[in-house]
A and B are shown apart, each in its own frame.
Chain A
Amino acid sequence: EVQLVESGGGLVQPGRSLKLSCAASGFTFSNYYMAWVRQAPKKGLEWVATISTSGSRTYYPDSVKGRFTISRDNAKSSLYLQMNSLKSEDTATYYCARGASYWGQGVMVTVSS
C-alpha cells in the first residue's frame, strides 16, 4: 500500500523559512517522479514542485520559483520541500504526491505574524 506521510508544518512568520518532509513507503520510491501540491483554505489544488526520479530535474510554478526547493533522498525514500521567504499567500495545506495519483494526508503551513 502506498503511504506518504508529511511532517514539518506549522506557524511561521513572513520572510522566514520552513522545511517539509515526506516519508514514502509501499512502493519503489526511486522509480517515481514526486511532487508537492498545496491547497489554500477553501481553495482548489495548486501544484508547487515536481522532481524527477534521480533528482536531477526540478520544476516550479512562477509563484514559488526562486523561493522553494524540492529535493529527495532515494536511499531514505524521502521527499523534501525547503520553503524560503515565506509569504502570507503560501498559507495552505501541503500534500506530498506520487505523480498525480497518490497523496499524503497533508501538513498545514500558516504564514502569519
Chain B
Amino acid sequence: DVVLTQTPPTLSATIGQSVSISCRSSQSLLHSNGNTYLNWLLQRPGQPPQLLIYLVSRLESGVPNRFSGSGSGTDFTLKISGVEAEDLGVYYCVQSTHAPFTFGSGTKLEIK
C-alpha cells in the first residue's frame, strides 16, 4: 500500500501567520489517466473530515482561498496563507490513485 508521510505532526501558529504542511508519498501518485488523486482534508474538533483541496491544487467549493495545494509525483504541500482561528484542527492528506486509498498520519494545527 502507498504510505503517505506527513510533516510536521504538530504546528503552532499565530493568527495571520502562513504555514505549510508536507505530504510525501512512497510512490508516484500520477494516475495513468494523467490525474493525480491527492486530496487535503481538515478535521475540526468533534467534526468529520471535510474536503479542502482535491486533485492536488483544486479548491473545493466554499473553501477560503487562503488554502492552496501544490506538488506533483511524490511531494505535495498544503499552504495556509494567513491562519485564522477557525483553521484549527487536524489536516490529513489522502491519496486515491492507488487502491486502497491511504491517509497521512495527520498534522495538528494549534493557534497560539
A44 / chain B contacts, CB cutoff of 8 Å: 90, 92, 103, 105-106
| Cross-chain contact of A45 among B51, B92, B99 (Cβ < 8 A) | B92
Identity of the chain B residue whose Cβ is nearest the Cβ of A4 in the assembled complex: B48
A95 / chain B contacts, CB cutoff of 8 Å: 48-49
What is the interface of chain B mostly: helix, strand, loop, or mixed? strand
Interface residue tally of chain A, by bracket?
10 to 19
How many angstroms between the C-alpha atoms of A100 and B92 in the bound complex? 11
Residues of A with Cβ closer than 8 Å to B? 35, 44-47, 50, 59, 61, 95, 99-106
Q: Contact between A100 and B105 (Cβ–Cβ < 8 Å)? A: no
Q: Contact between A50 and B49 (Cβ–Cβ < 8 Å)? A: no
For the complex formed, measure the closest distance between the CB of A70 and the CB atoms of chain B, giving whole angstroms.
Answer: 12
Q: Given A105-B48, A106-B48, answer yes or no on A100-B94 (Cβ-Cβ < 8 Å).
A: yes
B49 / chain A contacts, CB cutoff of 8 Å: 45, 95, 103
For the complex formed, measure the closest distance between the CB of A75 and the CB atoms of chain B, giving whole angstroms.
Answer: 25
Q: Contact between B94 and A59 (Cβ–Cβ < 8 Å)? A: no
For the complex formed, measure the closest distance between the CB of B96 and the CB atoms of chain A, giving whole angstroms.
Answer: 4
